[in-house]
Structure 1
Amino acid sequence: MAIISMFYGIIISMYYFDNKQHKIPHIHVKYQDEEAVFSIPNGEILEGTMKSSKRKLVVAWIEIHQDELMADWELAINGEEIFKIDPLK
């Protein structure tokens, strides 16, 4: 697992070789005691829960950084080093 960004108490991670369970590009998000898996292509929650206000921030961040996330996804599923992505400001 690698943390790729943090903002407003939200931690965004991507796991290496993580294309088996969900089959689509995704990120893992933690906020306090909540955890969720978000689809990169559309920002939908695939698993878990997230407060509405934090979910909206994550979806906006995904939309802004779509290309970078997809590039990191390709690296991660091949076990290569991934890059940090700017936080939401």
Structure 2
Amino acid sequence: MPEISRFFGIVIRMFFDDHNPPHFHAEFQEYKALVAIQSAELIDGYLPVKQLKLVQAWAILHEEQLLENFNNLGKDIKSWNKIEPLN
């Protein structure tokens, strides 16, 4: 499962050949969540409010790159890119 980005203690990952809807996995300490790429909404799991808002802001900024990674990981496990973290 590639690490796509990391910021403020939050790790963003995607699974190879993952299911729809397009989403990514966010982890912070013991918390794990699935976040929809196109809406930045929480699909499953839990993140503290502050971290969820950071993840959602990041997802909105990088929606196109996230969708590209999601689609590429389903086809070619070598075709994904790291995405710039929040500063």
TM-score by length of 1: 0.93
After TM superposition, what 4+ stretches of structure 1 lie above 6 angstroms from structure 2? none
- SS in structure 2 at match of 1:11: strand
Q: How many residues align?
A: 86
Q: Unmatched 5+ residue regions in structure 2?
A: none
Query: Is the counterpart of residue 40 in structure 1 residue 47 in structure 2?
Result: no
Q: How many Å separate the matches in 1 of 2:48 and 2:76?
A: 31
Q: How many Å separate the matches in 1 of 2:22 and 2:41?
A: 11
Q: How many Å separate the matches in 2 of 1:45 and 1:8?
A: 19
Cα RMSD for the two superposed structures: 0.8
Q: How many Å separate the matches in 1 of 2:13 and 2:26?
A: 6
Aligned position for 1:17: 17
TM-score by length of 2: 0.95
Q: How many Å separate the matches in 2 of 1:12 and 1:65?
A: 12
Q: Between the two proteins, what is the percent identity of the paired residues? A: 33
